[in-house]
A and B are shown apart, each in its own frame.
Chain A
Amino acid sequence: MKDARIPGVLIVLAASVAMIGCGKKEEPKAAAPAPAPAAAPAPAPKPEMVVKIGHVAPLTGPIAHLGKDNENGARLAVDDANAKKLEIDGKVVKFELLGEDDQADPKTGTVVAQKLVDAKVAGVVGHLNSGTTIPASAIYNQAGLPQISPSATNPKYTQQGFNTTFRVMANDIQQGSVVGSYAVKDMGAKKVAIIDDRTAYGQGLADEVEKAAKAAGANIVAREFTTDKATDFKAILTKIKAKNPDVIFLGGMDAIGGPMLKQIKELGIKAKFTTGDGGCSPELIKLAGAASEGVICTQAGLPVDKLPNGQKFVEDFTKKYGQIQIYSPYSYDAVMVLVDAMKRANSADPVKYLPEVGKTSYDGVTGKVEFDEKGDIKNGAITVFEIKDGKLVTLKSEGGTVAAAAAPAAAPAAAPEAKK
């Protein structure tokens, strides 16, 4: 009798464990607050000031490699900024990065956002995912803290009417229209199948691609869904195979793109595979191996190694942290934009330097950073890549402004087909 009832109860228990399991694992390191002597200007004889900058990205979970990449980019920026011994308001500034882990989970994202606000950071770089960035942005906005996301591409992030939200890369509307029209016009796709991982990023981008592909005259033959933690895609791929598409688009991260590509090959699907910035990484090539050959993917921004300031970044970063995944150049720029705004406002007080963030005109490692009235980057670039011989090869770039001085040298290399 007693045994008969237990399984049902346990399913409920198991489900709640699932949530706890996903929400409670915190990296010990992430929790450790920096041993800052004082957040406010120290009244020491030698005038020095500690300015804390918050950084949030998933450091655990399936896309922890991307989160760590973001954090490393921000760390490098903080180190570089400290090396310059900047003076603000007559004091030498020492920047400190408070790195938090949001586990790519919206609920955890708001918790760590509050934690950063309580720690009195001067500004925040993050989060990585759109799904965590959007709910957290309300908390930063309430505290009046400038937030620059290096990688959240969902358009909603900057459409909330907040004056604190900024991003240093093109949003999904721009990216989606490039991918969608590239698939139809350049790859000649008539039938397109779209898969997304039901996250704010994946779903948002997939919707934009669907619109763009339809507008370009293609037929959407399948719209399938998975999760950002799945490893088995055979069921939906089998369904897609029956529809015989020319191109498959995935709105999702590299962690699911890798195994998906292998399964596409195993099922004998001939369609070309395309994905957005979340899947456009060396990690995808590592995970999918030979199955990644011929994949077309886009990144928001110009190819970093082609940019004049980018080369130095690539060298410094690889020397210190190893291979760049995707967004570390953007988190580097995001930190630098904050530092730049503080410098111009001659204050690290968010109230005083926030207006300056909007007026930014900064030559970063990813190109020129200027914001429009919503906080989106002006003239954000999109670059289309193809994976050839296990490497990401640039096919073409659209939009983007290269730093004026070096433009003649960089433009031909960075954007061979930019006219298109």
Chain B
Amino acid sequence: MDTLLQQLINGLTLGAVYALVALGYTMVYGIIGLINFAHGEVVMIGTMVAFTVIVSLAGSGMPPLLILGIGLLVAVVACMVLGWGLERVAYRPLRHAPRLTPLITAIGMSIVLQNVAMIIWGRNYITFPPMIDKQIYEFGGASFTNVQVAIVVLAALVMIGLTYLVQRTRMGMAMRATAQNQHVALLMGVDINRVIAMAFIIGSALGALAGCMVGSYYEIAHYQMGFMLGLKAFTAAVLGGIGNMAGAMAGGLLLGIIEALGAGYIGDLTGNFLGSHYQDIFAFMVLIIVLMFRPSGLFGERTGDRA
């Protein structure tokens, strides 16, 4: 029982990060139908920028939490600029091109960003300085740290805030309108260029936040870290129904928990016939089964209401 609880805690933390990254994919897809494969790299750049800021401030004598806050802030701003730049340079000129063209461009941008990061931050693993003094708590035989609590709470707050933004503000209304029909939204006086740029900017800000979480959780960063994370988050978005925000959140959490439980129990369930190296297969199997019965994902029934 305590093992199950521990696996759920592991999965929840991982899932919260997946969910935040998945939101970045889903917002962009919801509005312009593009899978922004460079999003994982935006997350990575966020981690790296935060790392640089934190390291350069580490000796200044400021309180660690303030340093972490500044690092996070700079990373978020840097990623917002990066997200805006990506949209402006790589995707906007291709907005009316066939669907595959921007997709390939996205893959290209992903490789470019990885290599740029390798040039700037080097090819070695970077130790992310632990700014939060890790406390380990025990609960029912399972242990978790204050960092994990912070990740889950922060992710929940951000998701609530984002839901409010999309459902209750003028910007959110413009986003939903653009998602439903770009041309009609344009005719109604919505500045769709601005709305699309906003989707990239907000998605990238969430990515930066997720990157800082990953950095503080695992305490390492690497220029290729965004790739697998991005792929998992994309899977989470598809699982929940890509284009649907609630779907991305649910998909992320679900994928995190499935992965943890898969690695923890697949061996026992199959009498050690399948070991923990099948954990990713387990996650993708669930995805395939879901897609067989609900081809547009768990929450993806109404394609009109995508943002």
Contacts and interface: CB of A to CB of B under 8 A. Distances in A.
Contacts of B136: 266, 268
Interface string B232-255: 001100100011000000000000
A411 interface: no
B263 A235 contact: yes
Interface in A23-45: 24-25
A259 B220 contact: yes
A229 interface: yes
B10 A238 contact: yes
Interface string B122-147: 01110100100010101000010100
B178 interface: no
Contact of A255 (B107, B125, B260): B125
A239 B7 CA distance: 8
Given A62-B222, A239-B276, A232 B14 contact: yes
Interface in B58-102: none
Contacts of A286: 127
A266 B303 CA distance: 43
A85 B14 CA distance: 58
A3 B110 CA distance: 24
A187 B220 CA distance: 30
Contacts of B118: 60
Given A11-B235, A258-B125, A235 B303 contact: no
Contacts, number: 138
A239 B264 contact: yes
Interface stretch (B149-157, B188-196, B291-299): B291-299
B220 A17 contact: no
Contacts of B204: none
Given A3-B303, A10-B238, A235-B259, A241 B218 contact: no
Contacts of A232: 10, 14, 218
Given A10-B35, A232-B218, A64 B231 contact: no
Given A234-B260, A239-B276, A14 B231 contact: yes
A72 to B, nearest CB: 13
Contacts of A152: none
Nearest to B227: A21
Interface residues of B, number: 61
Interface in A62-102: 62, 64-65, 68
B219 A62 contact: no
Given A62-B222, A231-B218, A266-B145, A241 B125 contact: no
Given A62-B222, A235-B264, A287 B238 contact: no
B105 interface: no
B6 A231 contact: no
Contacts of A25: 111, 114-115
Contacts of A14: 37, 231, 234-235
Contact of B3 (A13, A65, A238): A238
Contacts of B243: 3
A90 to B, nearest CB: 43
Contact of B275 (A6, A21, A64, A223): A223
A129 to B, nearest CB: 16
22 contacts: A6-B242, A8-B295, A10-B238, A14-B37, A14-B234, A14-B235, A64-B124, A223-B275, A224-B275, A231-B225, A234-B14, A235-B260, A235-B276, A236-B264, A236-B276, A239-B263, A239-B264, A242-B2, A259-B219, A266-B134, A287-B220, A289-B219
8 tightest A-B CB contacts, nearest first: A235-B263, A225-B277, A64-B123, A234-B10, A7-B238, A235-B260, A65-B124, A4-B296
Given A17-B107, A239-B264, A287-B125, 11 more contacts: A3-B303, A6-B242, A18-B231, A229-B224, A232-B218, A236-B276, A258-B220, A259-B219, A266-B134, A268-B136, A287-B127
Interface of A: 3-8, 10-11, 13-14, 17-18, 20-21, 24-25, 59-62, 64-65, 68, 198, 223-227, 229, 231-232, 234-236, 238-239, 241-242, 255, 258-259, 262, 266-268, 283, 286-287, 289
Interface of B: 2-3, 6-7, 10-11, 14, 33, 35, 37, 103, 107, 110-111, 114-115, 118, 123-125, 127, 130, 134, 136, 138, 143, 145, 214, 218-220, 222, 224-225, 227-228, 231, 234-235, 238, 242-243, 259-264, 267, 275-277, 279, 284, 287, 291, 295-297, 300, 303
